[in-house]
Structure 1
Amino acid sequence: MKEVIIGGVPEHFNLPWSLSINNGEYVAENIDLKWRDFPGGTGAMCKALRAKEIDIAVILTEGIIKDIIDGNPSKIVQTFIQTPLIWGIHVAANSQYKTINDLKGTKAAISRYGSGSHLMTYINAENNQWDLKNDLDFKIIDNLDGAIIGLQSGFADYFLWERFTTKPLVDNGTFRHIGNCPTPWPCFVIAVRNEFIESNKAELKTILNIINRTTSEFKDIPCIDKTIAYTYNQKIEDVREWLNLTEWSQKLIDKTTILKTQQELFSLNIIPEIVDYKTLTEKL
């Protein structure tokens, strides 16, 4: 049996993976697919791909594009979530800051450099016409737990993270939500190490076929809203809103989207150049 290690954030987006793994669908195809949680997000997954600790990552589009251009020997093989990710902008509940513009020049918590929380802080700054050199100050907090400590202690002033994941922390008075910053592109893609693609193309196609069948039927699973709410400590009304806003994909990300994403990252000096479509993607 072929062992394959896949990584992703421990969030509701990835429930289709755990369902298909628990159902034994990969084992039935002689594939031992092992899931590994990455609370640290995209930056941590990029590091794990480079270190060959994982074979596949369900990862933020902007983060993996940046890291492939920076030398990560991986390719995007498919879009996973077609719709934008809605990043919530959060401060500590007792923070003096009330609006997004109050945050100009203050300390932004990020999980690590190159992470989604890092890159989207630039997008938020651009959206609000801030000076990207002088109005951004980053503090590394590793993950969501680190953000709780960082914001409450004053180590950092604000934090961007997926809005529905942080909603329970807003509801219980840990964070205060002061705005949103949606991604200008599809939010999650499936990336695979080049070496794995070359050596295990048949197994990879099988894995994608199984997850694509699962995601195409996901919203039709009986009581899926209740399952998500229970599993991820969410309110049922928040889960239903999220389901209405979220669409999975079963296709490779297109050239126009890849170019648009790179143009945005290049304009923010996040990537040094715009590269060819085939440098970033692999059509199976």
Structure 2
Amino acid sequence: MTNLKVGGVPEHFNYPWYVTLKNKEYSNHNINLRWQDFPGGTGQMCAALRSGEVDIAIVLTEGIIKDIAEGNPSKIVQTFVKTPLIWGIHVGAKSSFKKINDLEHAVIAISRFGSGSHLMAIVNAYNQGWDVTRLNFKVVSNLQGGINALTNGEADYFMWEHFTTKPLVDQGVFRRIDDCPTPWPCFVVAVRNEVLENNFEEVKKVLDIINFETKYFKNRDAIDQTLAKRYEQQLEDIQKWLKITEWNDGKPITKNLITRIQNKMVQFNVIKEKQISGNFIKNMYI
């Protein structure tokens, strides 16, 4: 039995992993796959890949590209969710900020440096024409930290996935000022280089199983109701999310895509310079 550890955010995007694990689909192929939730998001998972705490991670594209460029010994093996992530830009319910322009000099809550909430705040600032070198960040670890920081006035706004935070908007904890979609496919699968060298076939089998699940995931009976209940969402919000979300279901990631993303990340001042795009990826289906 091969032991592998996979990590991801505890959000609706990753429910297909729960389904395949519940059905023991990996153990049928002599793979003991264990899931670990990472509420801290991509920055936390990049650290876990570096330390060997996980072997495989479902991470935000921009975060892992930046971290591999900075020495993370991992490769992107495929896109997981090929549609953009919609980032809600949130303020506290009682905040005096009303529109996006009000936030130019505000304090931004981020889960950690290098996380999606950090990098997308830079993308949003660039989109607004703000000076990205003058942004002011407050590290808050995770979504709960963001709630605390905005409620206590330690930070002014916080960017997190639109649908995950929608219940907080409904409850009057947050007020959403605007949305900012990622200008690239949102989630990729990253694997530690050591694991790719030693367990290539097992990783490939894991991908085959999850890709088969995501291919037919939207056709599962009452999947919208299941997700709404599990993630405490309004049914209509889950239905909207399902409509705009597409999983990749197995196409390999290309050097051209990595190049295009790197070009944008340099433009947004998220990375200083491009690297050879082939260094970021490993094609499992040669």
TM-score by length of structure 1 reads 0.98
Aligned equivalents of 1:252 and 1:93: distance in 2? 42
Give unpaired runs (5+ residues) of structure 1.
none
SS of aligned partner of 1:102: helix
Q: Partner of 2:59 in structure 1?
A: 59
Query: Which region of structure 1 is more displaced relative to structure 2, 46-55 or 245-254?
Result: 245-254
Quick check: 2:91–2:175 contact (8 Å CA) kept in 1?
Answer: yes
Aligned equivalents of 1:243 and 1:256: distance in 2? 27
Aligned equivalents of 2:133 and 2:32: distance in 1? 47
Deviation (angstroms), 1:263: 1.1
Aligned equivalents of 1:254 and 1:86: distance in 2? 23
SS of aligned partner of 1:160: strand
Residue type at the aligned position of 2:83: T
Q: Partner of 1:90 in structure 2?
A: 90
Aligned equivalents of 1:155 and 1:214: distance in 2? 42
Q: Partner of 1:47 in structure 2?
A: 47
Deviation (angstroms), 1:75: 0.2
Q: Partner of 1:23 in structure 2?
A: 23
Aligned equivalents of 2:100 and 2:52: distance in 1? 39
SS of aligned partner of 1:226: helix
Residue type at the aligned position of 1:166: T
Quick check: 2:2–2:30 contact (8 Å CA) kept in 1?
Answer: yes
Deviation (angstroms), 1:253: 2.1
Q: Partner of 1:68 in structure 2?
A: 68
Residue type at the aligned position of 2:222: C
Aligned equivalents of 1:234 and 1:271: distance in 2? 35
Quick check: 2:255–2:281 contact (8 Å CA) kept in 1?
Answer: no
Q: Partner of 1:170 in structure 2?
A: 169
Deviation (angstroms), 1:278: 1.4
1:149 aligns with 2:148: yes
Q: Partner of 2:179 in structure 1?
A: 180
Q: Partner of 2:125 in structure 1?
A: 125
SS of aligned partner of 1:133: helix
Q: Partner of 2:206 in structure 1?
A: 207
Aligned equivalents of 1:269 and 1:131: distance in 2? 10
- Percent identity at matched positions? 56
Aligned equivalents of 1:48 and 1:124: distance in 2? 27
Aligned equivalents of 1:184 and 1:200: distance in 2? 33
Map 1:170-249; keep pairs closer than 5 Å. Answer: 170-249=169-248
Aligned equivalents of 2:102 and 2:283: distance in 1? 45
Query: Which region of structure 1 is more displaced relative to structure 2, 251-260 or 140-149?
Result: 251-260
Aligned equivalents of 1:264 and 1:240: distance in 2? 31
1:263 aligns with 2:274: no
Q: Partner of 1:81 in structure 2?
A: 81
Aligned equivalents of 2:131 and 2:221: distance in 1? 49
Residue type at the aligned position of 2:62: E
TM-score by length of structure 2 reads 0.98
* Structure 1 consecutive aligned stretches of length 4 or more whose deviation exceeds 6 Å: none
1:76-116 CA deviation, whole Å, 9 max, x = no partner? 00100000000000000000000111001110000000000
Q: Partner of 1:2 in structure 2?
A: 2
Paired residue total: 283
SS of aligned partner of 2:196: helix
Aligned alpha-carbon RMSD (Å) = 0.7
